[in-house]
A and B are shown apart, each in its own frame.
Chain A
Amino acid sequence: MSEELLYWLAGDLRWSDFPPKADMIATIAALIVVAGAIGVVATLTIARRWRWLFDNWLSSLDHKKIGIMYMVLAFVMLLRAVIEAVLMRIQQALSVNAQGVVSADHFAQLFSTHGTIMIFFVAMPFISGLINYVMPLQIGARDLTFPFMNAVGLWLSAAGAAILMASLVIGEFSTGGWSGYPPFTELAYSPGEGVDYWIWAVTLSSIGTTLTGINFATTIYKERCEGMHLFRMPLFCWTSLCTAILMIFAMPPLTVATALLALDRYAGFHFFTNGAGGNMMNYANLFWLFGHPEVYILILPAFGVWSEVISTFSGKRLYGYASMVFAVMCIAVLSFTVWLHHFFTMGQSTNVNAVFGIATMLIGIPTGVKVYDWLLTMYRGRIRLTAPMLFAMTFLLCFVIGGLTGIILANPPVDFQVHNSLFLVAHFHNMLIPGTLFGMIAGYMFWFPKAFGFRLDERWGRIAWACWSGGFLAAFMPLYWLGLMGMMRRTAISFEAAYQPWLNAAWAGAALIVCGIVALGIQLVVSVRRRSDLAVPVGDPWDGHSLEWWTPAPPPEYNFARRPRIEDTEAFTNAKRDGRAYHAPPSYEDIEVPRNTLIPAGIGAAGFVCAFALSWHIWWAALLGLAAMWAGVVLRSLQGDTERVIPAAEVQRQNEAWLDCARQTAPVTRFAEVERINRGRAMETT
């Protein structure tokens, strides 16, 4: 076959891009991905679950199922990103005056994929998943405003994640870090497919996230139940709203940055090149215009989770609700004013640095307000140290440390000293692990019984907490010290013997974190096995305050037999106190729910094809993928009959079965909530 025809057909893709790879570890990783994929397909085939998978999950537009699928995606990607983290820790610990286990190039791929995955394909899906599941229930809605668009958002994110997985098998990933700074990522210095993989994976995620943000904001603005004024929303909804607003306004800069970089690489433009009038510093500017609001996108939903968890397990109303809300709003607005602190050292004048440094420190104020509010919520509360609450304790301690190091870094003169050192790495992991990741794990444990109808095993939850907390401290506190000693981030090989003990400690910490993940896995398996013991069909295992607990566990697809009308933030608490929580509504009505459709999954698949083909310059397939994505959208607009009616009689039957179950269930006190007798009905305290 002629070279030209081959290029026309397969772009730059050749057999040599497939495994085995030059690097042993890379080959093993590729084999794990392939074996994993084969394993999933085989299991589904043997268990004859394909139809079930398509009918119940892949085609679903139900916000609860989409939320769960987001979480599954996040957990799968978390597994890979943590393995990469451990590999990096091993490399650094074994490469003090030595070669270590991976090549410098492979190491660069590891930190690039680790960062990209953790931000875009672990944290973001976690957040979208949790908000998807919880927020509509909390505001008494039947679904998000745009269920179809919600599914499209999910499948575009999944397509981006799939690009990351494909890059492990076919070709190589970018070595330019998660932020992809040019000129290194320009064609002249990164000629391969790696940066293109990164660009298109991130772009898919970014488009999906924008759609999701629009959906969340519209839902919170327009679908709240009667009486749910904005200032009666649970705090998690407030943080969801602010996150959504950040998603809407912070994703365009990322899209611009990656699109312009793509134009440089594909069409020879000069946005960020060295010569011909390009300005690489504008890339840093654009990227962090996205990147800084992004870190608040990651942290705000966790703030919401902590507010719910701490208030619930303290048995108290959230302290300082209004101050919490204003603090979140302040943080959301301020997050658009601080992006320059990511590049203090780029050469602008002192005045510019000073303004952004001060703005950065200002964010400490509303954040501090929140910490005090959480502490005061616990003060004189009747605290139960369940697993989510334990995570909250670690969060409060570590987050304050991380916040303080953030204030230190906000000083431009200090930043000049520790810029790009492991001090910085320690700082942002200190915010993102106890903040976001622990928040998501706590949220998962907290709302799991609602989603699946049974609690998670408490003992393994505590073991997971101990491993994660200890592992985090051991892995990241040494990095502060290493940073101050002068060790730079992204270093594959170092030549300073004094680093060794600290690197060893960090390695041990990473191993402990792996134990934490294993414990989470065991917890899930144990809980599924014991699910009849742990069942909480009534749906209120923790004596919850807000509307999501006022539904069966798991809730019906329409969420509420009758949409509630509320008069207070803690409407459910009031109903329990007044003894009217499980009264039947006066009447029932037909409910419309969206019909299942496979179009969103199809759009995601087309997006994957388009992104993959673009990365390898297979133009015909890229065009085909793009056309198929838009064809999916047009096809949807032609579908007339998109709703399915659940008749009132069926709603009544299901709801009365739940009410009967509730009435027959013995209420338990809060302190017996982890015991077997907890079937999901809380004691009606006065």
Chain B
Amino acid sequence: MSAGKNLHPGINLGHSDPAGHHQAEPVMFGFWIFLMSDLVLFALLLATYSAMSVHGVAGGPEPRDVTDLASAGIETALLLLSSFTIGMASLANKYHDDGRRLLQWLGLTAVLGIGFLAMEARDFASLIAEGAVPQRSGFLSAHFTLLGCHALHVAAGLLWMAVLVLQLMATGLERALRLRFMRLALFWHMLDIVWVAILTFVFLYGAAG
């Protein structure tokens, strides 16, 4: 816990906007704390899932019955690529004054994010069609809740992105907006990290276990 002045991590504004850089420090740190709090929430859903996927099957479908690795693979690819594109958007946000390049990368991210959500919706629909509804067993409750919570976060991120893009079109890339795009990028990267855990402990464990 050093007492000196510290930068916030990662995506700094140092070059194009020193004053904004200073202002960014507490804002970004606060958002980091929120992300950690959110991470604990996912961790507990995952812990609940891991117990229920073993104890809560109640004679219904087991993890291996609801695991579609091909679909999970496509979802992973979409989300990973979107992490890359939002990283590129962050670079544009940081080093370029005009918002066009930023918008292009964000557009790509949004397409990938929507694709991800569409794939998940398809997974859910096929499970429900097979009668594997969340009301069937504790395991399925946990499965739908964990994935649903993540999907809700992705959807919230997309909605947030839309609001910021509208603001960008209205006001141009001003300082407060740059900071918001930086936070959106952090949020998005974090969702990808959560997905790594979900992919492993839900889908890959489901296929391997």
Contacts and interface: CB of A to CB of B under 8 A. Distances in A.
A contacts B directly in the complex (CB < 8 Å)? yes
Contacts of A417: none
A428 interface: no
A279 B55 contact: yes
B56 interface: yes
A279 B56 contact: yes
Range of interface residues on A (Cβ < 8 Å): 35 or more
Which secondary structure dominates where chain B touches chain A?
A: helix
A229 interface: yes
Contacts of A218: 26, 29-30, 33
A253 B37 contact: no
Q: Looking at B38, B55, B56, which has the most chain A CB atoms within 10 Å of its CB?
A: B56
Given A252-B38, A637-B167, A229 B44 contact: no
A335 B120 CA distance: 38
B203 to A, nearest CB: 20
A260 interface: yes
Contact of A637 (B34, B139, B180): B180
Given A253-B40, A255-B41, A256-B45, A277 B52 contact: yes
B70 interface: no
A133 B82 CA distance: 43
A213 B40 CA distance: 15
Given A218-B30, A282-B48, A286-B48, A275 B41 contact: no
B29 A252 contact: no
B137 interface: yes
Interface in B23-59: 25-27, 29-30, 33-34, 36-38, 40-41, 44-45, 48, 51-52, 55-58
A667 B201 CA distance: 68
A267 B134 CA distance: 9
Contacts of A273: 138
B208 interface: no
Interface string B137-157: 111011011000000000000
B29 A282 contact: no
Nearest to B43: A252
Interface string A247-278: 01101110110001001100111110101111
Nearest to A276: B58
A217 B33 contact: yes
Contacts of A386: none
Contacts, number: 112
A638 interface: yes
Nearest to A224: B3
Interface string A275-306: 11111001000100100000000000000000
A145 interface: yes
A346 B52 CA distance: 18
Nearest to A275: B58
B60 interface: yes
A286 B45 CA distance: 10
Given A215-B30, A248-B33, A249-B37, A279 B51 contact: yes
A172 B37 CA distance: 33
Range of interface residues on B (Cβ < 8 Å): 35 or more
A330 to B, nearest CB: 15
Q: Looking at A218, A221, A276, A277, which has the most chain B CB atoms within 10 Å of its CB?
A: A277
Contacts of A219: 26
A289 B48 CA distance: 13
Contacts of B137: 270, 276-277
A525 interface: no
B145 A269 contact: yes
A638 B55 CA distance: 49
A269 B38 CA distance: 23
B1 interface: yes
Contacts of B44: 252-253, 256, 286, 289
Nearest to A263: B145
Interface string B51-81: 1100111101000000000000000000000
A663 interface: no
A223 interface: yes
Contacts of B180: 637
B26 A145 contact: yes
A533 B58 CA distance: 73
A659 B197 CA distance: 60
Contacts of A260: 48, 145
Contacts of A251: 37
Interface in B70-119: none
A149 to B, nearest CB: 8
B29 A222 contact: yes
A368 B170 CA distance: 59
B163 interface: yes
Contacts of B45: 256
A221 B44 CA distance: 27
A214 interface: yes
Contacts of A278: 56, 138, 141
Nearest to A257: B44
Contacts of B145: 260, 263, 269, 271
B122 interface: no
Contacts of B41: 252, 255-256
Contacts of A224: 3
A214 B26 contact: no
A271 B48 contact: yes
A282 B51 contact: yes
B91 to A, nearest CB: 23
B40 A268 contact: no
B177 to A, nearest CB: 9
Nearest to A633: B163
Given A145-B30, A214-B33, A248-B37, A270 B163 contact: no
Contacts of A222: 25-26, 29
A277 B135 contact: no
A498 interface: no
B135 A638 contact: no
Interface string B153-174: 0000000000100010000000
B29 A270 contact: no
Nearest to B56: A277
A267 B145 CA distance: 11
Interface string A135-146: 000000000011
A267 B140 CA distance: 13
A312 B1 CA distance: 28
Interface string A614-635: 0000000000000000000010
A146 B138 contact: no
Contacts of A228: 3
Nearest to A630: B159
B26 A263 contact: no
Contacts of A210: 34, 37
Contacts of B134: 267, 269
Nearest to A256: B44
B98 to A, nearest CB: 21
Contact of A270 (B33, B38, B56): B56
Closest 4 interchain pairs by CB? A277-B138, A277-B56, A277-B58, A229-B3
16 contacts: A145-B30, A210-B37, A218-B29, A218-B33, A221-B26, A222-B26, A251-B37, A252-B40, A253-B40, A267-B135, A270-B58, A270-B138, A271-B141, A275-B58, A279-B55, A289-B44
Given A218-B33, A219-B26, 17 more contacts: A145-B27, A145-B30, A146-B30, A214-B37, A222-B25, A224-B3, A230-B1, A249-B37, A256-B45, A260-B145, A263-B145, A267-B135, A270-B56, A271-B142, A278-B141, A286-B44, A637-B180
